[in-house]
Structure 1
């Protein structure tokens, strides 16, 4: 292992840790929102983001706020495919350090490997991996933050970013073998097929690009620069590696969200996922001022509100996603949370 080439004190922009996502991920977002007819003050204000942060690509944005600003931009501009269009024009250079990790690599295959390896420093609470499937590489991506429910726009943006890294070398006509998204098929799904020039599937377990190996193995990167690669890899590590691991509550929220579609969560199953004993989990939750049942209820409430705002699922479709075996049980819980039935809430939100 070589010693770090940049020290944390060598530049003001490198002080502090990335505890969400580097603001380079939102490069040009303000002008893109304006181009789509959006009101920057309303959209950034609703998402709790200071536009000044976007001027400094190595500053950190909270990941929930970042995902929220994309969803809010889609809603307020009326552009349902906002993330897809933003990603379509997002070039690797605009990603800052992460983009140059790919661009400075020796080959396109190595660029994908380096990109996936560096991504956790660029963005936390996220699955990112390059899986060897024989004839193809499967580039997988999924936000795994317990507080984030709506993440469609971010997923489509990220798949567009990854595609553009490949097209930077292979040309604008290059197409993956297949593109997968975890969210439901949107109304304007034909645009996804046109943007990627490939088969696009929805309701999958993970967002992914299927990349033929023959397209990337041995393909030289035109901007290969080994010294600059070392510099940017060290810099991005310094920004991200010292970030503390998610606390127990956040880990529990993420695990509960993953368990709900499979039925009523159990304390024993949650403890196994978190690799702690049941009594230790209960004690730690109690010390945090909550309990297992409260945590499950809070997760259901947050997830229900997120899905209801998206207007994509019927009430009967939503209930099992929250672990309810009967729609009536979900309706009773929703009335307890918000004082109205799900149908009343949805009707009022449309007016």
Structure 2
């Protein structure tokens, strides 16, 4: 199963609204909810994300939707990748660094460099597929690549020569992007750069990277959710406050049937209900310790209908009511 960070489509709701359509309805049609994208930084199914973008492009009649989305995104949309690139002295080395760390942002996509005469093609390969195709994910990824290369070269992101292995749009009246050279029906997906440019110094290179940045890079590697249990925890934690944190929705976010998700978790000696209990207890104890909200508000934020149900559950977990636990911790 391939995963991607939900923050990679930051600005999605704003752009869809600008185009005159309902972003929430489109997200729900693919099994997503706004809580997964409203500032959340969690992994979701890469294929389902691709399908959401394809459906959105069709609904909005905007064949360049993925590229348009990247025009107003901050560099943070590509997650921690600039941190890795900052360790490279040249632009070519920075691209190699990003390629090796790309799994931290999305699995199932690869970046490689192919020399062609005086130029180098920076190619993107994708392992995912959807019934609607993956043209929009390709455009989104190429837009991210242009934004990143612009950051490390100082060149305008709109001047790069973009090639995409997808049919040319048939609509004639769609909103154009600011990218000036977008070529469809190509045999590869990527951008073409001067080979000489790749030997130049990376503008973001720090000749002596601080130990704190190095530690942060290692931290990011360690935080990558390699186990299904950790993936479920990330998705469930983000959805909990939305009031809809059902097994079905979490499974859909990870592109799994609910029964299959349960079976895979069982293979790891854990259950969905156990994960949810641990998430709720951890969050409850944290809020009670900090006295950040009332018991009633806490109950609602943890997905309980009322405070009495939450209090009963909390006593089952700890042997104390929320107020008793809070008093005990406060006096210790």
TM-score (norm 2): 0.58
Query: How many angstroms does 1:52 deviate by?
Result: 1.2
Structure-to-structure mapping, 1:319-334, within 5 angstroms? none
| Matched-pair contact (CA < 8 Å) for 2:154–2:203 | no
* Aligned: 1:165 with 2:153: no
* Aligned: 1:242 with 2:220: no
Distance 2:172 2:146 in 1: 17
Which one of the candidate residues 29, 34, 42 is aligned to 1:51?
A: 34
- CA change 1:192–1:232 in 2 (3 A) is farther
- CA change 1:93–1:175 in 2 (3 A) is same
| Matched-pair contact (CA < 8 Å) for 2:115–2:195 | no
- CA change 1:214–1:234 in 2 (3 A) is same
* Aligned: 1:220 with 2:205: no
SS in 1 for 2:159: coil
Which one of the candidate residues 118, 124, 128 is aligned to 1:145?
A: 128
Counterpart in 2 of 1:34?
A: 17
Query: How many angstroms does 1:71 deviate by?
Result: 1.4
SS in 1 for 2:167: coil
* Aligned: 1:88 with 2:71: yes
Q: CA RMSD in A?
A: 3.2
Structure-to-structure mapping, 1:144-293, within 5 angstroms? 144-147=127-130, 149-168=132-151, 169-172=153-156, 175-176=159-160, 178-187=161-170, 195-198=178-181, 200-222=182-204, 224=206, 226-227=209-210, 230-240=214-224, 242=226
- CA change 1:238–1:188 in 2 (3 A) is farther
Q: Which runs of 5+ in 1 are unaligned?
A: 1-17, 245-351
* Matched pairs, number: 225
Distance 1:78 1:191 in 2: 7
Counterpart in 1 of 2:62?
A: 79
- CA change 1:187–1:67 in 2 (3 A) is same
| Matched-pair contact (CA < 8 Å) for 1:121–1:241 | no
Distance 1:189 1:129 in 2: 33
After TM superposition, what 4+ stretches of structure 1 lie above 4 angstroms from structure 2? 146-149, 188-194
Query: How many angstroms does 1:110 deviate by?
Result: 2.6
TM-score (norm 1): 0.55
What does the per-residue CA deviation read over 1:225-278, in whole Å, with 9 as the maximum and x for residues that have no partner? Answer: 72465345424433447358xxxxxxxxxxxxxxxxxxxxxxxxxxxxxxxxxx
- CA change 1:243–1:197 in 2 (3 A) is farther
Distance 1:52 1:173 in 2: 30
Query: How many angstroms does 1:83 deviate by?
Result: 1.1
Distance 2:30 2:168 in 1: 25
Structure with bigger gyration radius: 2
What does the per-residue CA deviation read over 1:297-338, in whole Å, with 9 as the maximum and x for residues that have no partner? Answer: xxxxxxxxxxxxxxxxxxxxxxxxxxxxxxxxxxxxxxxxxx
SS in 1 for 2:193: strand
Distance 1:98 1:129 in 2: 15
83-92 or 126-135, which moves further after superposition? 126-135
